[in-house]
Amino acid sequence: MSTTTPSSTTSPAGPTTPYHDRKRYAWLLSLLIPTTVLIGPTLMASTGDPKALWIPVVFFYAVVPLLDYFLGEDRSNPPESAVPALDADPYYRWITYLLAPVLWASFIFSAWFVTQMNLPWYGWIAMVLISGSVGGFCINLGHELGHKNTALEKALAKIVLAPSGYGHFYVEHNRGHHRDVATPADPASSRMGESIYAFVLREMPGAWFRAWALERTRLQQAGLPVLSWHNHIVQPAVLTLALWTGLTLWLGWMVLPFLVAASFWANFQLTSANYIEHYGLLRQQRADGRYEPCQPHHSWNSNHIFSNWIVFHLQRHSDHHAHPLRRYQSLRHFDELPTLPSGYFGMFLVAYVPPLWRAVMDPRLLQAVGRDLRRLNLDPQQREALIARHGLQATA
């Protein structure tokens, strides 16, 4: 008599078949991608041409979208019977553990390089963009680890958020964004008609103030001082201060403008992701004032293969918000979801051109919600204009 283990599936005939994750070794790409920060400097050293520093930038914002296009989508899911074994497999956790020092080393190398080389202005900008991308991967890793319940993963989440000075994300995302997502109360959910440039002016300060409000409440309820080591915002902030101070003492004050610029670009990568992940989608408010639970259709989803490999399935955002504790290797595709036409890196470029973004995404948004005004999170300053432009019923 055979028994079904968590890593096996049962065929209609009855026998068990072990499940094999076809993407198991593809996740190792996440360890290699941040090291692309070395490519530009290496080519510059061999050719003497600072223009080589732009090659990694072109890779992220041109080659990755093309790879997504040609490789297509992966809509396969692990069977639920295999999920406990997948989640317990230490291989997947070790990839995230090893990525943390790789990201820190890449960020520090970038700071060293720009202070040691006499770069032209365009070379300096290239290093800001690629180093900021490394910082963006730091935030992505902090996102994956910060949702987990082990002490090690929570500690690593704060550590990897420190280089770009965005440690408050640990509090803001888990306890703020996930609570308020796809509602007008969420500064990290973009509204229909809102450009990314208007969104960043609302999202960055809104996230900061919400994080402090949440943490202040938590500490006061626990009878602890707000400004103390118990504060989950202070902890990564101290690491940021230590890192930046150490780099300044080592490399000189000229590293500070670079750290500020690279960190802003890193944090803007998070803003870019937030902008596209919930654009215009709205949870329904009940009679008691509370919002319905977050469901997969309250997030934009993408199954594009290559970019999902390098961001730990972040683009399967619908399952993540519906089940935030689910580990990256187990996140699922669902049919009939709001779906992006490209992976995140391609969508970033579209978002940076607001007329293009509206042309691409507004029709998709209206189709996703069935043109139901009650399911649209509209920019309040453009509400009437959007209703008139798209022929929506104000009393739908």
pLDDT digit string, tens, across residues 346-393: 999 999 999 999 999 999 999 999 999 999 999 999 999 999 999 987
| The token pair that represents 74 in the structure block | 């992966």
Partner residues linked to 8 by β-bridges: 18
pLDDT digit string, tens, across residues 312-336: 999 999 999 999 999 999 999 999 9
pLDDT reading at 13 higher than 80:
no
Q: Please, is 343 exposed, middle or buried when counting C-beta atoms within 10 Å of its C-beta (0-12, 13-18, 19+)?
A: buried
Extract the runs of DSSP E, i.e. beta strands, from the chain. Answer: 8-10, 16-18
pLDDT reading at 69 higher than 90:
yes
pLDDT digit string, tens, across residues 276-313: 999 999 999 998 889 999 999 999 999 999 999 999 99
Residue 171: its pLDDT value, please? Answer: 97
pLDDT digit string, tens, across residues 93-117: 999 999 999 999 999 999 999 999 9
pLDDT reading at 396 higher than 50:
no
CA distances to 37, 133, 244, 335 from 258, in Å: 15, 14, 11, 44
What is the average pLDDT value for the chain, to the nearest integer? 93
pLDDT digit string, tens, across residues 195-205: 999 999 999 99
Instruction: In whole angstroms, give the CA distance from residue 185 to residue 176.
Output: 10
Residue 35: its pLDDT value, please? Answer: 85
As a whole number, mean pLDDT of residues 209-225 equals 97
Whether 206 contacts 172, CB under 8 Å = no
pLDDT reading at 11 higher than 60:
no
For residue 36, what pLDDT band results from cuts at 50, 70 and 90? confident
Partner residues linked to 16 by β-bridges: 10
How many residues make up the chain in this entry?
A: 396
As a whole number, mean pLDDT of residues 197-226 equals 97
| The token pair that represents 282 in the structure block | 């709205």
Residue 354: its pLDDT value, please? Answer: 98
DSSP label of 7: T
Whether 280 contacts 192, CB under 8 Å = yes
Whether 284 contacts 375, CB under 8 Å = yes
Instruction: In whole angstroms, give the CA distance from residue 143 to residue 341.
Output: 23
Instruction: In whole angstroms, give the CA distance from residue 349 to residue 338.
Output: 19
For residue 63, what pLDDT band results from cuts at 50, 70 and 90? very high
| The token pair that represents 96 in the structure block | 């995230």
Residue 17: its pLDDT value, please? Answer: 63
Instruction: In whole angstroms, give the CA distance from residue 175 to residue 179.
Output: 6
As a whole number, mean pLDDT of residues 190-196 equals 98
Residue 394: its pLDDT value, please? Answer: 55
DSSP label of 4: -
| Sequence ranges of the domains in the chain | 20-390
Q: List the one residue out of 165, 31, 42 whose CA is nearest residue 109.
A: 42
pLDDT reading at 178 higher than 60:
yes
Helix 90-116 / helix 121-146 crossing angle, nearest 10 deg? 160
pLDDT reading at 16 higher than 60:
no
pLDDT reading at 254 higher than 80:
yes
pLDDT over 90 for what percent of the chain? 89
Partner residues linked to 301 by β-bridges: 339
Whether 316 contacts 339, CB under 8 Å = no
Residue 34: its pLDDT value, please? Answer: 84
